[in-house]
Structure 1
Amino acid sequence: MTTRRDIVDRLARACESIYGRPEALRIARTIVGERCGISYSALLADPAEPLEMDGAEELAEQLRSGRPLQYILGRAEFCGMEFSVREGCLIPRPETEELILNIRIGGQRPASILDAGTGSGCIAIALKRLFPEAAVTAVDLSEDALGIARENARQLGAEIELRQADAFDLEREFAGRTFDLIVSNPPYIPRCEEAEMRINVTRFEPREALFVPDDDPLCFYRAIGRAALKLLAPGGSLWFELHETWAEACRDLLVGMGFDRTELFRDLNDKPRMLWSRR
């Protein structure tokens, strides 16, 4: 007789070398709960209950390969909403939720917003929900990512403009327009750090959304910052998510460009991960 514990353990063992035992168990219980309609608490309380689950070995193989839980489920939670995700877009992170929180508590009520490098659309859609009267435009170079963002905008009822555009060409793309708020979570991981990262990230999430050249890790911040000097309305704000190692260098970069005020914000782990600048 196969039990809930047996199936959870089989899935956990498939990926514990990647995540460690505690996280692997959490992932396994989440998958079993979703596939079998069993609450997480019930899996913990009654692990010896009999259970048969079709496709367990296929799921174990996916986990063994490093495929992320969110891609297996086809969705990820972000700011209280459920976003569709799959290969082709970055998985929304809790750190990015903190970026949205800081924008909210900043007190600005923007009438127009530009999200540069939207991926799944999570930032643009969360800001549209936060500022429903704002005109929100979101861009990405990847057609795959834009397709997922369109799907999310439709499912979540967010009326946003989605456009294919290069983050290095925003000034030309939006010539004649201005925005009260420009926000971006751009690629910021130097390629030299790839060897230290888990395979669930490096094998499956889009490399173009993750990595930057080792010799120019601030390339996206420089390009978007320069464009923001032209595209921000007077008093407008620029918000970035950051790599903690390059936070102060990014602040110095924007100060050198001529932004009136620039401030770093720390995340819940006390790391400098967000930056605000004012035009």
Structure 2
Amino acid sequence: MTAADLTCDAFLGGRLSIWQPRKGYRAGVDPVLLAAAVDARPGQSVLELGCGAGVASLCLGARVPGLQLTGVEIQPFYAGLARRNAQQNGLGLAVHEADLARLPTELKARSFDHVIANPPYFLRSRGTEAPDAGRERAMGEATPLSDWLMAAARRLAPKGWLTLIQDAERLPDLLAAMPGALGSLSVLPLAAREGRPAHRILLKARKGGRAAFRLHPPILLHEGRAHQRDGEDYTAAISAVLRDGAALPLPG
């Protein structure tokens, strides 16, 4: 792939410059929202499963200084982009090219304060494959959600937090596959506009947590019931996340 096949895109209002393929899987708002929902503190360790080009980890690192960031990515091309993006933005991100179901020994020997993930949304039994192989791997579920959740549970330190973003219709699948080690589940629905059903959910779970399940009121991404004007119409809270790198608190 040549330089002409890539674009360098601004995230967080220009605080980050991210190289992505011109065609194929391209990060949008989902990894930014995921990063904003992670309640990390300086000095803590974070593992991202399926880090792609590194957008979620780097957005988190831009907001919270001093994190120990680690990513796992199965596709060599995207793993290379994640390393390049980390270096370009002056953020430390150790990227391991590996299958999350068969992590390298050095990662199996570690535990993390946080695990984050943006797993593929689409069951291939319900749709057709994307023509681009990279996009298909990122968006079409090849590794079951249960494997993502088990990998997260194994790598979390006691009382550590899993934070992930997923298509809202997959919430029953997530709850059914949740390992017993993960509790204190908290779900925040994300709806595009007033009067519309949630299309994404943010989910938090704590290793060893015992708090009751919490389903929070949905957060709206856009103002109004319909798009009324040219340009963006994000709500003030979402605009602050996307443009200023603000946090999106998700109570535990």
TM-score, structure 1 normalization: 0.62
User: In the aligned structure 1, how far is the partner of 2:157 from the partner of 2:23?
Assistant: 33
User: In the aligned structure 2, how far is the partner of 1:73 from the partner of 1:141?
Assistant: 19
User: In the aligned structure 2, how far is the partner of 1:233 from the partner of 1:178?
Assistant: 5
User: In the aligned structure 2, how far is the partner of 1:77 from the partner of 1:202?
Assistant: 26
Shift of the 249–166 alpha-carbon distance from structure 1 to 2, 3 Å rule, reads same
Contact 2:46 2:112 (C-alpha < 8 Å) held by counterparts = yes
Gaps of 5+ in 1: 1-70, 214-218
User: In the aligned structure 2, how far is the partner of 1:114 from the partner of 1:158?
Assistant: 15
**Higher CA-based Rg:** 1
What is aligned with 1:133? Answer: 66
Shift of the 78–267 alpha-carbon distance from structure 1 to 2, 3 Å rule, reads farther
Paired residue secondary structure (1:234)? strand
**Which structure carries more relative contact order (alpha carbon 8 Å, separation 6+)?**
2
Superposed displacement of residue 275, structure 1: 1.2
Superposed displacement of residue 224, structure 1: 2.4
Contact 1:119 1:140 (C-alpha < 8 Å) held by counterparts = yes
What pairs up with 1:102-117 in 2 under 5 angstroms? 102-103=37-38, 106=39, 111-117=44-50
The one of 177, 181, 193 equivalent to 1:253 is 177
What is aligned with 1:95? Answer: 30
What is aligned with 1:264? Answer: 187
Shift of the 169–204 alpha-carbon distance from structure 1 to 2, 3 Å rule, reads closer
Q: If each structure's strand is expressed as a fraction of its own residues, which one has the higher value?
A: 2
Paired residue secondary structure (2:92)? coil
Superposed displacement of residue 220, structure 1: 3.8
What pairs up with 1:1-279 in 2 under 5 angstroms? 74-80=7-13, 81-86=16-21, 90-103=25-38, 106=39, 111-170=44-103, 172=105, 174-195=107-128, 202-203=131-132, 205-212=134-141, 219-254=143-178, 257-269=180-192, 270-279=198-207
| Amino acid corresponding to residue 263 of structure 1 in structure 2 | S
Shift of the 189–96 alpha-carbon distance from structure 1 to 2, 3 Å rule, reads same
Shift of the 144–272 alpha-carbon distance from structure 1 to 2, 3 Å rule, reads closer
Q: Deviations over 1:72-94 (max 9, x none)?
A: 77133333322111168631111
Shift of the 265–244 alpha-carbon distance from structure 1 to 2, 3 Å rule, reads same
Superposed displacement of residue 139, structure 1: 1.2
TM-score, structure 2 normalization: 0.68
What is aligned with 1:43? Answer: none
Contact 2:7 2:20 (C-alpha < 8 Å) held by counterparts = yes
| Amino acid corresponding to residue 199 of structure 2 in structure 1 | K
User: In the aligned structure 1, how far is the partner of 2:126 from the partner of 2:9?
Assistant: 25
Aligned length: 197
Gaps of 5+ in 2: 193-197, 208-252
| Amino acid corresponding to residue 97 of structure 1 in structure 2 | V
Paired residue secondary structure (1:242)? strand
Shift of the 88–271 alpha-carbon distance from structure 1 to 2, 3 Å rule, reads closer
User: In the aligned structure 1, how far is the partner of 2:109 from the partner of 2:133?
Assistant: 38
Paired residue secondary structure (1:169)? coil
User: In the aligned structure 2, how far is the partner of 1:142 from the partner of 1:77?
Assistant: 23
Paired residue secondary structure (1:75)? strand
* Percent of aligned pairs with the same amino acid: 21
Q: Deviations over 1:153-208 (max 9, x none)?
A: 1111111111111111238552221100001112221224545x9xxx64475211
Paired residue secondary structure (2:182)? coil
Shift of the 268–99 alpha-carbon distance from structure 1 to 2, 3 Å rule, reads farther
User: In the aligned structure 2, how far is the partner of 1:205 from the partner of 1:127?
Assistant: 24
